[in-house]
Structure 1
Amino acid sequence: MSDYVALDGLTLAYGKTVAVEGLDLSIAKGELITLLGPSGCGKSTTMRAIAGLMTPSAGRIVIDGRDVTRLPPSKREVGLVFQSYALFPHLTVYENVAFGLRLKSAPDLDAKVRDGLATVGLTEFADRAPRDLSGGQQQRVALARSLVMEPKVLLLDEPLSNLDARLRLEMRMELQRVQKETGITMVFVTHDQAEALALADRIVLMRDGAIEQMGTPEEIYSAPVSGFAADFIGFETILPDGAGGGLAWRPGAVVLGSGPNQGTVRGTAFAGERREYILDSPLGTIKADTPAGAAPLEIGQSVAFDLPRERAAHLARLD
C-alpha cells in the first residue's frame, strides 16, 4: 500500500498536556479510514492536525508526497466537514457550495457547483436557504461545499452526531456512495462503533493518544487484541484466561438456561428483537441476550449459563 497520507511520529499537545504522542499512520489514496475511540483519545486532535488547525510539537504530516506540517490550512488541499454543518444562514444552498470557489476565483464555477449538488442529490434545492432544509440535507450541502474544492483528503469530524437515528443511517449510506463514486480519500472521526464498522475500509482504534488496534472492520469486530478494544467494540463479558490474556464474549454468544455455571439476574431490559440481561455470578458480571420471544427471566431469578469457548475472542492482554 503506497502512502498517500502519512503521519510520522506525530506528537500533539495542548500546553503541557500531550494529547497524541509518536503517532505513525499511513493512508492509501482512495481509502476511507475511520479514527474511532472514546472522548479524549486523540482522534479529533489528530484530524485537526491533518487539517492544519494545530501545529505538531514533533513529527510530520505528508499528503501526496508533500510535507505539509508547517503549511496553513488553505495550502493543504484538505476539505473539512464539521458536525455542526457550519453553513452561512444568509446564503442559498447554491451560494454556500460556491463560497470557497468564489474566494479562489475558480473557473467554471457554475458547472462545479451544479456537479457538486448533483453528487449529493440536492440539485432541486439550489435556491433554498439552509433553514428550509432537514439536518441531513444541510449535512449534504456541507459535504458538497467541500467536494467542489477537489481536496486531496476529506476530513469528517463526527458529521452524523447531530442527526436522528434514521437520518444517521441515510447519511451513512450517502457518504459511502459519494466516497466510492468520487474515489476521494476520507478520514472519518467518530466514537460510534456501528458507524466505523459500516463505513471504513480500515478502522484505527485510539486510546490515550496512541493506536490501540488497526485493521479492517471484520478484524476489529472479530479479533480485538486487548480488554479495552474488546469492551469498546461490544464484547461485554471479559474474563482472564489464566495466562495473562483473556476471553471475551458478546451478549449473544452467552447461552442462558443450560450450562455448568450459575448466575442470578440483576438487571433486565426489553430491546426490541432481544432481551438484555445482567447476571451476577462467581465468575463475575455476565451480560447476555436472548430472543425477545423467549420466556423472560425475572430479577433475582437463578439461571444456568454457558460460555462456549468456540464463541469467544481471545485477547492477548486484558488492559
Structure 2
Amino acid sequence: MSDFVKLDKLTLAYGDVVAVPDLSFSIGKGELVALLGPSGCGKTTTMRAIAGLMAPKSGSIHIDGRDVTNLAPSKREVGLVFQSYALFPHLSVYENVAFGLKMRKASNIRERVEEAIASVGLSDFTNRLTPDLSGGQQQRVSLARSLVVEPKVLLLDEPLSNLDARLRLEMQLVLKDIQRRTGVTMIFVTHDQSEALALADRIVLMKDGVIVQEGSAEEMYNAPRTRFAADFFGFENIFPGDDGQDRAWRPGAITLGDGPFEGQIRGMSFGGDYRTYVIDTERGQIKGAVRADLPSYKEGDKVRFDLPMAQAVALDAG
C-alpha cells in the first residue's frame, strides 16, 4: 500500500492532557478508511489534526508525499464534511457549493459547481435555500461543497449521525458511489460499527488514543483479536476457556433449547426477525438470539443451551 496519507508517531494533546499518544498509520490513495471507536477514543482528534485544525505536540502528517504538519488547513488540499453540515442558511445550494471556489478565485466555477451538484443528485435543487432541504439533502450539499474544490483527501466527521435510519442507508449508498466514481481518498469518523462495516475498505479501531486493531470489514467482523474489539463487533458473550484463553460468541451463535448447559430466562427483546434473550447461567449472563418464528420463552423459564466451539473466536489478551 502506498502511503498517500501517513501519520508518523503523532502525539495530540489538549493542554497537558494527551488524547492521542504516538499514533502511526498509513492510508492508500483512493482508499475509504473508517476511524472507529467510542466517544473519547481519539478518532475525531486525529481527524482534526489531519485537517489542520489542531497542531500536534510531536510527529508528522504527510499527504501525497508532502509534509503538511505545519501547514494551514487551506494549504493541505483536504475537504471536510461536518456532522452539523455547516452550511450558509442565507445562500442557495449553488452559492453554498460555489463559495470555496470563489474564495480561491478559481476558473470555470459554474461548470464545476453544476457538476458537483449533479454528482450528489441535487440538480433540481440548485436555487433552493438550504434550510428548505431535508437533512439528507443538506448533507449532500455539504459533500458537493467539499468535492468541488477537488481535494486530495475528503474527511468526514460522523457524517450520517444526524440522519434517520432510512436516510443513513441512502447516504451510505451516495458516499460509496461518489468514492467509486471520483477515486478520492476518504477518511470518515464514526462510532457506529455497522456504518463502518458497510462503507469502509479498511477500519481502524481506536481506544484511548491507541489503535486496537485495523483491517478490512470482513477481518474486523469475523476475527476480532481482543475483548474490546470482539465486544465492539457484536461478540457479546465472552468467557474464559479451560485453557486460560478467552473465547467469544455472538448471540446468534448460541444454540437455545438443547445442549449441555442450563440457564434461566431473565428478559427478552423483540427485534423483528429475531428475539434476543438474556439468560442467567453458571458462567454468568449470556445473550442468545433465535428466529422469531420459533417457539418463544418467557421470563423465568429454564432453558438448555450450547456454546458451539465452531462458532467461537479465540481472543488475545487485552
Trace 1:128-139 onto structure 2 (pairs within 5 A). 128-139=128-139
SS at match of 2:149: coil
**TM-superposed deviation, 1:19:** 0.6
Q: Which runs of 5+ in 1 are unaligned?
A: none
Matched, 1:292 2:316: no
Range with bigger deviation, 97-106 or 240-249? 240-249
Partner of 1:282: 282
C-alpha distance after superposition, 1:187-245 (max 9, x if no partner) = 01000000000000000000110000000000000000000000011111001124443
Q: Distance in 2 between matches of 1:245 and 1:185?
A: 39
Alignment correspondent of 1:238: 238
Secondary structure of the structure 1 residue equivalent to 2:54: coil
CA distance in 2, matches of 1:243, 1:211: 27
* Secondary structure of 1:162's aligned partner: coil
CA–CA distance in structure 2, aligned partners of residues 71 and 5 of structure 1: 15
**Partner residue, 2:42:** 42
Mapped to 2, the partners of 1:167 and 1:39 lie a distance apart of 23
Task: Map 1:266-281 onto structure 2 (within 5 A).
Answer: 266-281=266-281
Distance across 2 between alignment mates of 1:77 and 1:244 = 50
- Give the Å deviation of 1:312: 0.9
* Paired letter, 2:219: E
Give the distance between the partners of 1:20 and 1:285, measured in 2 at CA: 34
- Quote the Cα distance in structure 2 between the aligned partners of 1:146 and 1:107: 17
Aligned equivalent of 2:13: 13
Instruction: Report the counterpart of residue 155 of structure 1 in structure 2.
Output: 155
1:268 shift after superposition:
0.5
Q: How does 1:223-262 map to 2 (within 5 A)?
A: 223-262=223-262
Amino acid at match of 2:306: D
Separation in structure 1 between the aligned mates of residue 44 and residue 186 of structure 2, nearest angstrom: 14
Cα shift at 1:246: 1.0
Distance in 2 (CA, whole Å) between partners of 1:47 and 1:302 is 49
Distance in 2 (alpha carbons) for counterparts of 1:303 and 1:268: 13
One-letter amino acid of the counterpart of residue 92, structure 2: T
Following the alignment from structure 1 to structure 2, what is the Cα–Cα distance between the partners of residues 7 and 241? 38
Structure 1 CA distance for aligned equivalents of residues 215 and 277 of structure 2: 31
Partner of 1:29: 29
Structure 2 equivalent of residue 124 of structure 1? 124
Q: Give the structure-1-normalised TM-score.
A: 0.99
Structure 1 letter corresponding to 2:50: I
Q: Which amino acid aligns with 1:213?
A: Q
* Whole-angstrom CA distance in 1 between matches of 2:40 and 2:58: 20
TM-score (norm. length: structure 2): 0.99
Cα distance in 1 between the residues matched to 2:298 and 2:207: 37
SS at structure 1 position matched to 2:83: coil
Q: Secondary structure at the match of 2:188?
A: strand
Whole-Å separation in 1 of the counterparts to 2:23 and 2:241:
31
Amino acid at match of 1:212: V
In structure 1, how many angstroms separate the alpha carbons of the residues matched to 2:92 and 2:248? 52
Q: Which letter maps to 1:5? A: V
Question: Which residue identity does 2:252 align to in structure 1?
Answer: G
Alignment pair present for 1:312 and 2:315: no
Structure 2 Cα separation of the partners of residues 119 and 105 of structure 1: 22
Within 5 A, what are the aligned runs for 1:83-162? 83-162=83-162
3-state SS of paired residue (1:111): helix
* Distance in 2 between residues matched to 1:224 and 1:184, nearest whole Å: 28
**Amino acid in the other structure paired with 1:170:** E
Deviation at 1:285, TM superposition (A): 1.1
Name the SS for the 2:167 alignment partner. helix
Identity %: 63
Distance 1:42 1:172 in 2: 23
3-state SS of 1:204 partner: strand
Aligned length: 318
State the AA in 2 paired with 1:102. Answer: K
Match of 1:195 in 2: 195
User: Quick one: distance in 2 between partners of 1:16 and 1:279?
Assistant: 45
Whole-angstrom distance in 2 between the partners of 1:245 and 1:316: 7
Letter in 1 for 2:133: L
CA distance in 1, matches of 2:312, 2:118: 46
Equivalence for 1:185: 185
1:52-104 superposed Cα distances (whole Å, 9 cap, x missing partner): 00000011000000000011101100100001000000000000000000000
Q: For residue 21 of structure 2, give the secondary structure of its aligned residue in structure 1.
A: strand
* Structure 1 vs Structure 2 CA RMSD: 0.7
